[in-house]
Amino acid sequence: MSTKVADHILQRLREWGVEHVFGYPGDGINGLLAAWGRADNQPLFIQSRHEEMSAFQAVGYAKFSGRLGVCAATSGPGAIHLLNGLYDAKLDHVPVLAIVGQTHRTAMGGSYQQEVDLHSLYKDVASDFVETVTVPEQLPNVLDRAIRTAYARRAPTAIIVPGDVQELEYSAPTHEFKMVPSSLDSSSWTATPADDSVRRAAEILNSGDKVAVLVGQGASGARAEVEQIAELLGAGVAKALLGKDALSDALPYVTGAIGLLGTRPSYELMRDCDTLLTIGSSFPYTQFLPEFGKARGVQIDIDPHMVGMRYPYEVNLVGDAKATLERLIPLIRSEERGREWYDTVCDNVARWHEIMDGRAKLSADPINPEYVTRALDPLLPDNAIVSSDSGSAANWYARHLTMRPGMRGSLSGTLATMGCGVPYAIGAKFAHPDRPAIALVGDGAMQMNGLAELITAAKYKDLWEDPRLVVGIFNNHDLNQVTWEMRAMEGAPSFLPSQELPDVQYAAFARSLGLTGIRVEKPEDVAAAWRAGLEADGPAVIEFLTDPAVPPIPPHATWDQMEATAASILKGDADRGSMIRQGFKAKMQEFLPGRDKRDRKGD
Residue 377 identity = D
* Window from 18-22, 89-93, 302-306, 324-328 with minimum mean pLDDT: 302-306
Q: Label residue 576 by pLDDT band (50, 70, 90).
A: low
pLDDT at 39: 98
Of 104, 151, 162, 105, give the one whose Cα is nearest residue 129.
151
**Residue 26 pLDDT more than 90?**
yes
Of 207, 224, 202, 206, give the one whose Cα is nearest residue 215.
224
pLDDT at 23: 98
For 203, list phi and psi in degrees, rounded to 5: -60, -40
* Average pLDDT value for residue range 121-141: 97
For 169, list phi and psi in degrees, rounded to 5: -70, 135
First to last CA, the chain: 76
* Average pLDDT value for residue range 277-286: 95
Q: Which residues contact 404 (CB under 8 A, 6 or more apart)?
A: 248, 249, 250, 380, 382
pLDDT at 62: 98
* Average pLDDT value for residue range 471-480: 92
Alpha helices in 513-570 (DSSP H): 526-535, 559-570
Q: Label residue 555 by pLDDT band (50, 70, 90).
A: low
pLDDT at 1: 66
* Average pLDDT value for residue range 263-292: 96
8 Å CB contact between 474 and 393:
yes
8 Å CB contact between 458 and 515:
yes
Note the pTM of the prediction, 2 decimals. 0.92
What mean pLDDT, rounded, does the chain reach? 91
- pLDDT, one tens digit per residue, over 368-394 is 999 999 999 999 999 999 999 999 999
Q: Count CB neighbours of 577 within 10 A.
A: 11
Query: Could you give the CA distance from residue 523 to residue 371 in angstroms, rounded to a whole number?
Result: 8
Helix (H, G, I), strand (E, B) or coil at 168: coil
CA 235 to chain centroid, in Å, comes to: 26
Query: Could you give the CA distance from residue 346 to residue 342 in angstroms, rounded to a whole number?
Result: 6
**Residue 598 pLDDT more than 90?**
no
The two beta strands, 156-162 and 236-239, are unpaired
Q: Label residue 552 by pLDDT band (50, 70, 90).
A: confident
Q: Count CB neighbours of 177 within 10 A.
A: 5
User: 299 pairs with which residues across the strands?
Assistant: 278, 316
Q: Is the dihedral of CA 40, 46, 52, 58 positive or negative?
A: negative
Cα Rg of the chain (Å, integer)? 25
Query: Could you give the CA distance from residue 518 to residue 526 in angstroms, rounded to a whole number?
Result: 10
Q: Nearest-5° angle of CA 87, CA 239, CA 52?
A: 20
**Residue 304 pLDDT more than 80?**
yes
- pLDDT, one tens digit per residue, over 404-432 is 999 999 999 999 999 999 999 999 999 99
Residue 496 identity = L
- Nearest 10 degrees: Cα torsion 257, 261, 266, 271: 140
pLDDT at 431: 98
User: 408 pairs with which residues across the strands?
Assistant: 385
**Residue 314 pLDDT more than 80?**
yes
Q: Is the dihedral of CA 419, 154, 240, 251 positive or negative?
A: positive
Query: Could you give the CA distance from residue 3 to residue 280 in angstroms, rounded to a whole number?
Result: 44
Q: Label residue 589 by pLDDT band (50, 70, 90).
A: low
**Residue 465 pLDDT more than 50?**
yes
Query: Could you give the CA distance from residue 257 to residue 250 in angstroms, rounded to a whole number?
Result: 13
- pLDDT, one tens digit per residue, over 509-545 is 999 999 999 999 999 999 999 999 999 999 999 999 9
Q: Label residue 185 by pLDDT band (50, 70, 90).
A: confident
Per DSSP, which regions of 304-400 are E strands? Answer: 315-318, 385-388
pLDDT at 472: 98
* Average pLDDT value for residue range 501-509: 96
pLDDT at 572: 56
- pLDDT, one tens digit per residue, over 200-211 is 999 999 999 999
The secondary structure of 282-323 as a DSSP string is ----GGGSPPTTTSEEEEEES-TTSTTSSS--SEEEES-HHH
For 236, list phi and psi in degrees, rounded to 5: -90, 150
Query: Could you give the CA distance from residue 86 to residue 33 in angstroms, rounded to a whole number?
Result: 22
Q: Could you tell me if residue 243 is left (phi over 0), alpha (psi between -120 and 50 degrees) or otherwise beta?
A: alpha
Percentage of the residues of the chain whose pLDDT score is greater than 70: 90
pLDDT at 588: 46
Query: Could you give the CA distance from residue 568 to residue 574 in angstroms, rounded to a whole number?
Result: 10
Q: Label residue 188 by pLDDT band (50, 70, 90).
A: confident
pLDDT at 578: 58
